Amino acid sequence: MNKIEEKAPLGVGVLVGIIMGSKSDLPVMQDAADICKEFGVEFEMTVVSAHRTPERMFTYAKDAASKGLKVIIAGAGGAAHLPGMVASITTLPVIGVPVKSSNSIDGWDSILSILQMPNGIPVATVALNAAKNAGLLAVQILATADDSLAQKMQVYKDDLRKKVEESAEEMSSQL
């Protein structure tokens, strides 16, 4: 299977859609897929361009909920209209990932395009190239209705806390 159209193992069904404006966004967006895999959340991943394939984008967004998706993570660079346009079509939560692309203004164009949505069309926006946080946010959204996933998220956060505490102890012992 092509890496860009990767899917997690079959189970209860695909819950997270990871889409991007072009294949060049894959190195960034792969982090969201890796988080889904780490937590055992099924996902699909594909290219859906708001500018080059608007019909594909419309169909993807319109059909997402009926396919069983619960969250969409949409990454785009440059003008970055994909997350907002998808959010305007679906009732599902959309997490936008601004991607620093070769033609971007240091990523600011992507950030502002995704962040500055009009009232009524929310997009949860993470930091530039922060697809890992987008994956974590998707898992947290799903965990509100899944105790097992909530427990996994708690363990993940406990591990983060332990790493910081260990670093602090190590640092203080070196003083």
Pairing of β 94-99 and β 71-77: parallel
Structure token pair of residue 12: 């209860």
Residue whose C-alpha is closest to residue 110's, from 43, 29, 36, 174:
29
Residue whose C-alpha is closest to residue 70's, from 146, 162, 169:
146
Evaluate the CA torsion angle 40, 46, 51, 55 in order and state its sign: negative
- 56 assigned binding-site residue: no
- 167 assigned binding-site residue: no
- 22 assigned binding-site residue: yes
Structure token pair of residue 4: 């860009």
Annotated binding site: 22, 25, 52
Annotated binding site for substrate: 22, 25, 52
